[in-house]
A and B are shown apart, each in its own frame.
Chain A
Amino acid sequence: MPEAVREPFADPAHQRDAVALGMWAFLGQEVLFFGVLFVFYTSLRVRHPELFAAFAPRLDWRLATVMTVALLISSFTMALAVRFAFTRARRSLVLALSTTMILGAAFLALKGWEYAHHFEHGETPQIDLAGLGRGPGLATFFGVYFVLTGFHALHVLGGLGALGWLAVAAWRTPASDLRGSPVMAVGLYWHFVDIVWLFLFPALYLAGRLAP
């Protein structure tokens, strides 16, 4: 039989405090994890600004704006979910978590549609292995685009999994047993993923001058 998990904490406030510190330390490493991608992006943009002027207009800024709005609203509903978890409002909690999930899923669906669209038009990151002297070009730009947005999308997907787990747990748990810390931890993660997108949006979609 597995040993019972020992909670080394004296009281819930102590535990919440420790979970917050642990989660922020985790997000600190996420900052550096995504930071590598942004340094990659910046070094490319410094060396080859012409690529961004030429190819950024191929990205659909209207669609991206809709996706930004979806993520922002999902952050709002996530903040509400944390509040409901601590006040043990079970029905509101399940509702807020579900809304967050629907918005996150909508974001991913739009992202998938966008990816499919790019692949249809040959806007892929694969470099031509055979062609010598091919130089920086469309594949370079779409390389940075797919790598950056891809890692972000994977994080959204992970967040959806965590939210689903929370929602099921909240559905099954009597209101009096609800614990705020897990919801808060997932919430911090979700907001962080939102922040990454807040930088990706102007970095990629608004990199060239927009035309009406």
Chain B
Amino acid sequence: MKSWLTTTDHKRIALLYLGTMTLFFTLGGLVATVIRVELATAASDLVTADTYNRLFTLHGVIMVFFFLIPSIPTFLGNYLLPLMLGAPDLAFPRLNLASWYVFVAGGLLTLTAMVAGGLDTGWTFYTPYSTTFSDSHVILAVLGVFLAGLSSVFTGINFIVTTHRLRAPGLAWLRLPLFVWSLYATSLILVLATPVLAMTLLLVAIERGLHVGIFDPEAGGSPLLFQHFFWFYSHPAVYIMILPGMGVISELVPCFSRNRPFGYGFVAASSLAIAVFGFLVWGHHMFVAGQSYFASVVFSFLSFAVAVPSGVKVFSWLGTMHRGSIWLTTPMIYALGFIALFTIGGGTGLALAMLAVDVHLHDTYFVVAHFHTIMVGGMLMAYLGGLHFWWPKISGRLYSERWGRIAAYTLFIGFLLTFLPQFVLGTQGLPRRTASYPPEFQFLQGLSSAGATILAVGYVLPGVYLLASLVRGRPAGDNPWGATGLEWCTSSPPPPHNFVRPPVVTDDPYDYPRAPQPTITGVGDA
């Protein structure tokens, strides 16, 4: 136990993060369940409207700051980055451990706020409600999120320095795995956007606790300024969540298509382009918030620009599968689910970026459905795909491929059933964040709640068969999928210093025609 809590091994820290985030995800998921049960009927009968506010805030804060943002970087990234670079560890191992402790401290503070009576501001902490009117535990919660942000900054710095300074001999930039490119772009956002949120939340705490009129219009402050700051972070934060997911998909698709990625250079560059453009579009969250008309037009235009590099990625995945030899394993099912749902989520995002359309759809279920399609449909599919892809490497065991596929399909169906009705609800004008609604929306809301039940089953299943594989799974061998990449050249799980002999890279990545044959047998269509 103690050797785990004082470890500086990036692989162990990654597993500490996995355990912590699974707890947060379970909590956030349970709250989502209560919300969906409440919404199954039109009246507010299970919880009061006030409790409902606290529930969706808890769900949002936990899922955004304690699962979606850290998930892929701190677990898969932490585990795989040094392996993929051929390095013995991250550049600053103690900073890495510190980041986990800070993360846990932030989580505990936030949970304390939730237990002590909750938070009802929504995950966005909008002023002046959060600073003046809310009677919930705003200060405690923002300090918790502040600490989670600090932990992100530590991780980001570590990844940037590691990628620059600890690449194996011969591993030039244009030989880096695409997952590393996406982690690098994510780290830039983590380091450069998070401080803006950190300071903004501290200002909220100062205004609320010490009565300084920073955002208070009565005292010359500006609530709009809060929204500028908040979205300057929180829009790039969307790319913090989705970019690593895109990186995972860029690993899965070439491996299970047995093909080189189509347009490697463009995919690598598109990660950086998304990181850069992501910083220029925050104002599209403020179209109806009283922002100047001029700024709205500028931000609407820029928001379309960010769709271009995302489109480049989708084309690359399709192009990689084209004339590939597709092998429909569990990770690949998740990858295909990601591509489908990300395209739906991205397309509806463009609808929302249109100034006139947004005035109608703003703060309706359409927005809820849009970002859940990107976050749950996209990011979570990628997370689970990556988890299944690298699980044999991390645990050294094979899980049940049959149950893996069943769970993946269950999730996909459950997802569509939960969130497609919400797009319709939104276009019909149903506002979000209300516990009760007019009875004519009953059918679609009921459909959504039914879908959520299926979704919940899809989440529980991997927890069961992955844990079972630890006990009953067959040994995985070094490279069960026949994948390329340095992480597959070492044992499963890797030894403490990752490689017995420091690797030297002589080839370009993804040389799939010449990759080793898969060693998995008995999983069907291999």
Nearest chain B residue, comparing its CB with the CB of A126? B211
B3, B196, B218: the one within 8 Å of A32 (CB): B196
Inter-chain contact B214/A147, CB cutoff 8 Å: yes
Query: Can you list, as one digit per residue, whether each of B354-380 has a CB less than 8 Å from chain A (1) or not (0)?
Result: 000000000000000000000000000
What band does the interface of chain A fall in when counting residues whose beta carbon is under 8 Å from B?
Answer: 35 or more
Q: How far is the CA of A147 from the CA of B9 in the complex (A)?
A: 40
Q: How far is the CA of A140 from the CA of B165 in the complex (A)?
A: 47
- Residue B192 contacts which of A9, A14, A28 (CB distance < 8 angstroms)? A28
Least CB separation from A134: chain B residue: B218
B301 within 8 A of A: no
Contact, CB under 8 Å: B191 / A29: yes
Closest to A20 in B: B161
Q: Roughly how many angstroms separate A136 CA and B191 CA in the complex, as a whole number?
A: 35
Question: Which of A21, A32, A33, A132 has a CB less than 8 Å from the CB of B165?
Answer: A21
Give B117 Cβ to nearest chain A Cβ, in Å: 22
Within 8 A of A (CB), among B1-60: 3, 6-9
In the complex, whether A22 has a CB less than 8 A from a CB of chain B is: yes
- Nearest A residue to B226 via CB reads A40
A contact residues around B9 at 8 Å (CB): 3
Interface residues of A in 120-166 (CB under 8 A from B): 125-127, 129, 132-137, 139-140, 143-144, 146-147, 151
Question: Are the CB atoms of B191 and A25 closer together than 8 Å?
Answer: yes
Of B8, B87, B164, B228, which is within 8 A of A21 by CB?
A: B164
Chain A interface mostly: helix
CA of A97 to CA of B21, assembled, Å: 42
Contact, CB under 8 Å: A40 / B213: no
Contact across chains for B225 and A137 when beta carbons are under 8 A apart: no
For A126, list chain B residues within 8 Å (CB): 210-212
Encoded as 1 (CB less than 8 Å from any B CB) or 0, chain A from 2 to 16 comes to 110110110000100
Choose the segment among A43-51, A66-74, A85-93 that binds chain B (4+ C-beta atoms closer than 8 Å): A43-51
- A135-B220, A144-B214 known; 9 new pairs, CB 8 Å cut-off, are A2-B6, A8-B87, A22-B91, A36-B199, A40-B225, A134-B218, A140-B221, A147-B206, A151-B199
Residues of chain B whose beta carbon lies under 8 Å from any beta carbon of chain A: 3, 6-9, 82, 87-95, 153, 156-158, 160-161, 164-166, 191-196, 198-200, 203, 206, 210-214, 216, 218-222, 225, 228-229, 497
Residue pairs across A and B with Cβ atoms less than 8 A apart, 27 shown, are A1-B3, A2-B6, A3-B3, A3-B6, A3-B9, A6-B88, A8-B87, A8-B93, A14-B165, A21-B164, A22-B92, A22-B157, A26-B153, A29-B191, A29-B195, A32-B193, A40-B203, A44-B220, A44-B222, A47-B222, A135-B220, A136-B219, A137-B219, A139-B212, A140-B221, A143-B219, A144-B214
Q: Which 8 A-B pairs have the closest CB atoms?
A: A136-B220, A33-B195, A140-B220, A36-B199, A2-B6, A32-B195, A29-B195, A127-B213
Which residues of A line the B interface, CB within 8 A? Answer: 1-3, 5-6, 8-9, 14, 17-18, 21-22, 25-26, 28-30, 32-37, 39-40, 43-44, 47-48, 51, 125-127, 129, 132-137, 139-140, 143-144, 146-147, 151
